[in-house]
Amino acid sequence: MTKLFNKKSETEKRRLLRNNMPPAEWILWKKINNKQLSGYKFRRQYSIKQFVIDFYCPELKLAIEIDGDSHIDAMEYDNNRQKYIESFGIKFLRFTNLEIYENLDKVVEEIKKCL
């Protein structure tokens, strides 16, 4: 399985995404990094094959995606990508930028329910 997770060939893509995170991702990252949620470690920009997940908790096999405006036109692609990733037993949570900006506490509570 390790040949599918965080492949070396995807390192530069992950680094670029980490260094250019949208504001909504930064806001959530500040709430979930450093084991702030019940002691669980989240990683940002974690890859599975060629797909990069915004945030991932390996211990729980939990992926968190923050969907911005660019995802509106890519719903079919996102759904197929999500189904592929879920085929590895990974649970998905999706939130919009607007949810992060307007109700961050509710988003954090939703994540905590999965912990």
pTM of the model: 0.85
pLDDT at 72: 58
Phi, psi (rounded to 5 degrees) for 68 = -95, -170
Strands (E), the chain: 43-48, 51-57, 62-67, 91-96
Q: Which two tokens stand for residue 74?
A: 């890519």
Domain 8-114 -> CATH class: alpha beta
Domain ranges in the chain?
8-114
Cα–Cα–Cα angle for 30, 58, 98, rounded to 5 degrees: 40
How confident is the model over 99-113, as pLDDT tens digits? 999 999 999 999 999
CB atoms under 10 Å from CB of 25, counted, come to 22
Average pLDDT over residues 47-61: 92
Least confident piece of the model among 6-15, 48-57, 103-112 = 6-15
Q: Is the pLDDT of residue 14 over 90?
A: no
pLDDT mean across residues, the chain: 87
